[in-house]
Structure 1
């Protein structure tokens, strides 16, 4: 390689890199990105030194930096769009599960409201408060078998009144 070409390139680099860095930073407001863009512009200039005949080096380099900032924005926008596209189904799926769970809970609550008072109370103490059959029996002053019978009745009514049989499996999963 010709040393005069290397020396000329070094002169161009030393004379213009600060200005180009300022231009890049002005457009992207990120020092690391600005430095990377200026570096890319000089690498491209070096790699294409035999192909390009540049009349005004200052205007060429300033335009190259502005275009590189624009390209960087487009790359970032594409990355963000890809991330959003891949994350959206997960978010959507999670939201659907939350909605389905809420609807199922509302349906269960509606069915529980139709139960006789003692049966409803035993069910809520078991499922909402997490009490065992002996604890429920002691708290309500009833026999353990009576508490168990009320809970069994509540679960049978829920099973019969739920719209679809698959909901019974989900109910079993949520409640046990």
Structure 2
């Protein structure tokens, strides 16, 4: 029996990578739903600009959720799809109802911190495996999200 999966990668290491990607999927899913809540519940003088930004963010997360699930499938795994699994697997916790814009942005920054850390772990593992597809996905996500962290950080900066 071959030790390689259908795309030529080590089955055991691909399984480990798929588990890490499922953790990322869980974090993205909780982050997505939190962002929907920020979008719906934001109030105050920054409503119009943040309402729009949060919509952009949750639309982006929606696409990433699908990309990550499909990558898990490509590696031969099965993406988790229920919130009960997401809640136990995610480092990002469900947000309470947040109406303050700066508080929502702080929560977004904390979510990015967790996600970027996990994506770097995935990138290291996929690099060891020689999995260029996952490498490219994680590299693109990290670059994009580091810029978003800078922008959101600038928004809440008091300087």
Whether these two folds match at TM > 0.5 is no
Report the TM range for the smaller structure's normalisation.
0.3 to 0.5
What TM-score do you get using the length of structure 1 for normalisation? 0.31
Q: Which has the larger radius of gyration?
A: 1
Whose helix proportion is higher, 1 or 2? Answer: 1
